[in-house]
């Protein structure tokens, strides 16, 4: 298995075919009778994945099913996409009882739940879905929420890099009893392109940053308001200040796995999070729900502009 680069040489490790369709780094899949994407309730024999998803160009992921449905509705309106007469937006993975996925034109919006294990499962299955569907050059986004460090609530942070709780710019996974580390790299041009889409009359700021991925919302993010807490308020503040000195702008729970996975899979990807709280001021998310919902639109607006720009060019 090898595709040709622009010099006509065969690239054994390329993750793309010359037409932009994905190549998996796993030949076992080619030998399966049927590949069942269990958590999506889809399969290569039970569904015509090429017909259903072959046109996908953008995959937008976010934590909650509700937010992803809202995003699909927003993008449908923004892009003037028409659904076939008599149909409405429906959850394409409803039967999985796990994730919820919506499709509008060439855009998939799917929720990933909370934390690395959950988004990890989704990334494997969505990447295989794009492979089976023969989608060309799909771009992945995580459009999420986070805690900011010294940033005003409502600010959008586009990650230029992702680190784990120890400051490592790689994702660590245990595979067959071995520790495997994969670099968490993001596309710097995409970061710049997304930031450039901020408009002067936007009511929110858009900044680039370094995103820390924690394995927990409470103790793992230094919070003192969990069910237990063996560190002091001072320990927390020193920790947050140290992170800030290292350039960390925000904390969430999926970045490092998302960046490492997409990089290894050869998929262009970006992380765009909105800060719901400034962790230097406190731990609890006290803002009223309607304001939080409004802030959650901010990264959606930026990604919507990006998608529109790309689709208008083609």
What gap in Å lies between CA 314 and CA 311, rounded to an integer?
5
Torsion of CA 279, 284, 289, 290, to 10 degrees: -30
Please tell me the total number of residues recorded for the chain in this structure.
Answer: 314
What gap in Å lies between CA 106 and CA 34, rounded to an integer?
25
- Residue identified by tokens 């993001």 is 186
What gap in Å lies between CA 298 and CA 270, rounded to an integer?
15
- As measured in angstroms, the least distance from the Cβ of 223 to ligand URA is 8
Given candidates 24, 79, 114, 280, which one binds ligand R2B under the rule CB under 6 A?
A: 114
Residue 277 contact, options ligand URA, ligand R2B, none, Cβ 5-8 Å cut-off depending on partner type: ligand URA
> Between 140 and 159, how does the x/- string for binding to ligand URA read (CB under 6 A)?
-----xxx------------
249 binds ligand URA (CB under 6 A): no
> Between 238 and 277, how does the x/- string for binding to ligand R2B read (CB under 6 A)?
--------------xxx-----------------------
What gap in Å lies between CA 248 and CA 213, rounded to an integer?
10
Stretch that binds ligand R2B, among 26-34, 138-146, 159-167, 218-226 (CB under 6 A): 138-146
**E strand spans, the chain:** 3-4, 10-11, 36-37, 42-43, 58-62, 101-104, 107-111, 139-148, 156-163, 170-175, 178-183, 206-213, 248-252, 269-278
Are 135 and 22 in contact, with CB atoms under 8 Å apart? yes
> Between 17 and 56, how does the x/- string for binding to ligand R2B read (CB under 6 A)?
----------------------------------------
Stretch that binds ligand R2B, among 20-28, 143-151, 241-249, 262-270 (CB under 6 A): 143-151
304 binds ligand R2B (CB under 6 A): no
Stretch that binds ligand URA, among 8-16, 89-97, 189-197, 247-255 (CB under 6 A): 247-255
62 binds ligand URA (CB under 6 A): no
Residue 254 contact, options ligand R2B, ligand URA, none, Cβ 5-8 Å cut-off depending on partner type: ligand R2B
- As measured in angstroms, the least distance from the Cβ of 273 to ligand URA is 8
Residue 91 contact, options ligand URA, ligand R2B, none, Cβ 5-8 Å cut-off depending on partner type: none
CB burial of residue 102 (10 Å; 0-12, 13-18, 19+): buried
Q: Give the count of beta carbons closer than 10 Å to the beta carbon of residue 282.
A: 13
> Between 202 and 221, how does the x/- string for binding to ligand R2B read (CB under 6 A)?
---------------x----
168-201 burial, b for 16+ CB within 10 Å, e for fewer?
A: ebbbeeeeeeeeeebebbbbeebbebbbebbeee
Nearer to ligand URA, 126 or 240 (CB): 240
Positions in the binding site for ligand URA (CB under 6 A): 145-147, 217, 221, 251-253, 276-277
Positions in the binding site for ligand R2B (CB under 6 A): 63, 114, 144-146, 217, 252-254
């Amino acid at each position: 298995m090898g595709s040709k680069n622009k010099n006509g040489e065969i690239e054994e490790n390329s993750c793309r075919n010359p037409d932009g369709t994905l190549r998996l780094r796993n030949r076992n899949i080619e030998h399966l009778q049927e590949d069942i994407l269990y958590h999506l309730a889809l399969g290569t024999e039970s569904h015509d994945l090429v017909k259903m998803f072959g046109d996908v160009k953008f995959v937008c992921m976010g934590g909650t099913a509700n937010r992803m449905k809202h995003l699909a509705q927003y993008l449908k309106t923004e892009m003037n996409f028409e659904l076939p007469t008599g149909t409405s937006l429906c959850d394409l993975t409803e039967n999985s009882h796990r994730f919820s996925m919506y499709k509008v034109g060439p855009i998939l919006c799917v929720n990933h739940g909370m934390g690395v294990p959950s988004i990890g499962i989704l990334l494997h299955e969505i990447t295989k879905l794009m492979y089976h569907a023969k989608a060309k050059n799909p771009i992945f986004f995580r459009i999420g929420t986070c805690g900011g460090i010294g940033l005003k609530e409502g600010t959008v942070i586009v990650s230029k890099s992702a680190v784990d709780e120890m400051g490592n710019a790689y994702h660590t996974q245990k595979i067959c009893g071995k520790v495997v580390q994969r670099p968490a790299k993001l596309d710097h041009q995409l970061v710049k392109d997304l930031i450039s889409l901020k408009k002067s009359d936007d009511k929110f700021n858009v900044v680039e940053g370094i995103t820390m991925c924690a394995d927990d919302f409470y103790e793992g993010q230094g919070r003192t308001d969990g069910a237990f807490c063996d560190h002091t308020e001072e320990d927390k503040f020193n920790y947050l200040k140290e992170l800030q000195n290292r350039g960390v702008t925000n904390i969430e729970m999926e970045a490092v796995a998302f960046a490492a996975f997409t990089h290894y899979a050869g998929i262009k990807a970006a992380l765009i999070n909105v800060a719901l709280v400034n962790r230097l001021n406190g731990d609890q998310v006290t803002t009223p729900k309607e304001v939080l919902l409004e802030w959650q639109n901010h990264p959606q607006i930026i990604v919507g502009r990006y998608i529109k720009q790309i689709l208008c060019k083609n």
